[in-house]
Chains A and B, each alone.
Chain A
C-alpha cells in the first residue's frame, strides 16, 4: 500500500479513539478510500494486519456498506437521491439528465472518465428535493435545468484541465 503520509498519520491517530482496534475498520476504510479512490484486495489485507484482524473481517464490512467500492470511479462522483421525496420532485429525471449529459449509465464510469453517476438512497434533505451529492457537496433542488448547468460546469472544469 502506497498511502500518503498524512493518511498514515490520521490512521494511527484514529485507532486511538477506540478501546478495541477493530472499531477502526470503518474509519480506516474511509481514509484509504479517500486517499486511493477505492478498496483493493491489498487494502483489505493491509487494514486487517493493521487492526490485527483476518482479511475476511474487513472484506465482509466492505461488502456490507454501500459507500465502500471495490473499483475506481470517475473523477467526480455524482450521487442522485432516489428515495420517495426526491422521486416525487422528479429525481428520476434528474438522474437521467446526468446520465445523458455524460453519455453514461448509472453505476458506470463515463467514457471520458470524468464522472460516475449513481442512484443512492435518502440523503436526508427531503425538503429541498431533488438533491444530489457530488463528491462531498450537496446540491439542492436539482431539476433537469440545474442538472444541465452542473454538468456544464464539470465539463468546463475538465476542459480547463486539458
Chain B
C-alpha cells in the first residue's frame, strides 16, 4: 500500500514560498486569531479541551499534556511558570529548529494560549545554545508580538498580562530533561532534581508550580483550540491523536521532515515511499525510531503483538504503524520522532561507539551509575573499534548498561543504556565477530568514532 498523503498542521507553512517569519505574514494567514478567541473562554475550559484532545507530549516521553497541566498546584498562592523546552538535543531530532526559524509566531501563540489556560504570568523559552540565530528570531518575534499586544501587558485589550523571555542554554543535552532545565534556568549546573518531591507542577522554577512543554506540543495546543478537540481527536488513532513530525536522517535517499497523522503511516511506507528507500546498491539494516536513545530495530526481526480481541498479529519492522503505543509494544519508542536509518554499510559496533561517546559526554555526572557507566560503555566500545576487541565485549558492555537503567535520578540512565542493551541484543553476532571483521575491514569504511 502506498503511503498516505502528508497531513501538515504544525509544518503547514514550513518551506512555503513567500511565507516569512514576521508578524505581518503570520497575521495574513490568520495568526493570533485563536489566541483572541481563547481569551474569551474560561481557562479551565481550555484545559479541559486539551485533555479531551488526547494530546501527548512531543518531546520524547509522550506523556499526556492535559494530565501534566492537571497536576499543577493552583492553590499554593505562588506564581505559576511556563517554560518552553526548545532545547532540541536528542540526536536525530530537528523539528523544533524549523518551527523556531520559519514560524516562530505559531510557537508564541501556542505558548500564550497555554499560559492563559494555566494562569501563567511569566513564561520562558529555554532554547539550546547552538541555536543563536533561532534565539534572535524568537526575540524579534516576541518583540513584534509585544508591540502588537499579543504578549505582555493587557493582551488583546483584556486584563490578562503575561510576558515571555528567551533564555539560552550552553550546549548541555541534559537541559532537555525538565528538572535539569529548571536548574539551568535558575543559573546553576543542570543537575536533574529528584522526584519526589521536585515535581515541576508543584516545586519547579524558583520552587513554584511550573509547566515544561516541548515546542511542538505547544504548537498543537493552538490547533486543538482552533479546530476543537473533537475534530482533533479524529486525526490519528485512539490514544495517539494529532500529527507527528518524523525527522528522517541517515541512509535514505531523501532525508528530511515529514508530518503525518499519528499511526497512519508505517515505518516501511515512511522509509521506502516517502524517503525513497535505501541508497543505490544498499539495503536497510537497522533503524532507530525515536531519537538515538530509542531502542534500535533490526530489519528482518518480527514482533508478535496482541490485538484487542485477544488474537495475535505479527509485524515486521516495515509494518509498524508510527504511533506511540505500537512502537512501545515493539519494545522501543516514538520518542522525539527522530528516525535514524542505517544501511548494510554500517558496522553496529562502530555505530554504538558513536552513540556511547555522545552519552558519556552528556551525562551530568550526578549519579554514579550513569557518570561511570556511560564512560565505561564509551571506553569499551571505543576500545573495540580502535584497539583490541574480545568476543565477550558485547556481553561486558551490556552488563554495564544493565546496571544503570533504573538506578539514576533522571531518565538519562535509561537513555544511555537502551542503545547498548538493544544493539547487543539484536546484533550480538557482530559484537562477537568484530575482531575478525576488523581484520578484513576495507580502508575506506566510513569512520564513525
CA distance A122 to B94 in the complex (A): 10
Give, as a whole number of angstroms, the nearest-CB distance from B8 to chain A: 16
Q: Answer yes or no: B227 CB below 8 A from chain A CBs.
A: no
Question: Across the interface, which residues of A come within 8 angstroms of B97, CB to CB?
Answer: 124-125
- Proximity bits, A6-45, B CB within 8 Å = 1, else 0: 0000000000011110111111011000000000000000
**In the bound complex, how far is the Cα of B338 from the Cα of A92, in angstroms?**
21
A101 interfacial by beta-carbon distance below 8 Å: no
Known: A83-B91, A127-B256. A122 touches B358 (CB 8 A): yes
Check: A121 CB closer than 8 A to any chain B CB: yes
Task: Give B170 Cβ to nearest chain A Cβ, in Å.
Answer: 4
Contact string, A42-62, partner B, CB cutoff 8 A, digits 1/0?
000000000100000100110
Q: How far is the CB of B94 from chain A (nearest CB, A)?
A: 5
A28 shortest CB reach to chain B, Å: 9
Q: Which residues of the partner chain B approach A85 to less than 8 Å between Cβ atoms?
A: 91-92, 249-250, 340
A14 to B299, CA, bound (A): 51
Residues of A close to B173: CB separation below 8 A: 121-122
**Are B189 and A60 touching (Cβ within 8 A)?**
yes
Task: Across the interface, name the chain B residue whose C-beta is closest to A65.
Answer: B170
Flag if A67 contacts B340 (CB, 8 Å): no
A150 within 8 A of B: no
Q: Could you tell me if A61 and B189 are in contact, using CB atoms closer than 8 angstroms? A: yes
B172 touches A84 (CB 8 A): no
Flag whether B273 is at the interface (Cβ < 8 A).
no
Q: Which residues of A contact B90 (CB under 8 A)?
A: 122
Tell me the smallest distance from the CB of A38 to a CB of chain B, in Å.
13
CA of A122 to CA of B96, assembled, Å: 14
From known contacts A87-B449, A90-B446, A129-B249, infer whether A120 and B188 are also in contact, taking CB-CB under 8 Å: no
Question: Complex: how many Å from CA A82 to CA B346?
Answer: 16
Name the B residues within 8 Å of A138 (CB-CB): 133
Whether A136 pairs with B132 at a CB distance below 8 angstroms is: yes
Contact of B187 among A26, A93, A127 (CB under 8 A): A26
Are the C-beta atoms of B168 and A30 separated by less than 8 Å?
yes
A5 at the interface (CB under 8 A from B): no
- Which residue, of A25, A88, A128, A136, has the highest number of chain B Cβ atoms within 10 A? A88
One of B24-32, B261-269, B349-357 at the interface = B349-357
Interface size on B, residues (CB 8 A): 56
A48 to chain B, nearest CB (A): 11
Indicate if the CB atoms of B169 and A61 lie closer than 8 Å.
no
Contacts A65-B129, A124-B89, A127-B94 hold; do A20 and B186 have CB atoms under 8 A apart?
yes
**In chain B, what residue has the closest Cβ to A122?**
B91
Chain B residues closer than 8 Å to A93, beta-carbon distance:
446-447
Task: Let me know if B292 is at the binding interface, CB within 8 A.
Answer: yes
Bound form: Cα–Cα A65–B132 in Å? 16
Q: Give Cα distance in the complex from A52 to B289, angstroms.
A: 46
The one of A20, A22, A124 in contact with B96, judged by C-beta atoms closer than 8 angstroms, is A124
Instruction: Given A83-B354, A127-B94, answer yes or no on A65-B172 (Cβ-Cβ < 8 Å).
Output: yes
Q: How far is the CB of A24 from chain B (nearest CB, A)?
A: 7
Tell me if B223 is interfacial: C-beta within 8 Å of chain A: no
Q: CB-CB contacts of A109-125 with B at 8 A, as 1s and 0s?
A: 00000000000111111
Tell me which residues from 91 to 105 in chain B have a Cβ below 8 Å from any Cβ of chain A.
91-94, 96-97
Contact string against A for B residues 157-176, beta-carbon threshold 8 Å, 1 for contact and 0 otherwise:
00000000101111111000
Chain A: which residue is nearest B251 at the CB level?
Answer: A88
Please provide the chain B residues from 138 to 188 with a CB less than 8 Å away from any CB of chain A in the complex.
Answer: 165, 167-173, 184-188
Report 13 cross-chain contacts, Cβ distance below 8 Å, ordered by A residue. Answer: A20-B186, A20-B187, A23-B185, A60-B189, A84-B340, A88-B340, A88-B446, A88-B448, A92-B448, A121-B91, A126-B91, A126-B340, A137-B133
Residues of B within 8 A of A (CB): 88-94, 96-97, 128-133, 165, 167-173, 184-190, 206, 247-251, 255-257, 292, 338, 340, 342, 346, 351, 354-355, 357-358, 361-362, 364, 446-449
Across the A-B interface, the 4 shortest Cβ-Cβ residue pairs = A25-B187, A65-B170, A126-B249, A85-B249
Interface of A with B (CB < 8 Å)? 17-20, 22-27, 29-30, 51, 57, 60-61, 64-68, 79, 82-85, 87-90, 92-93, 120-129, 133, 136-138
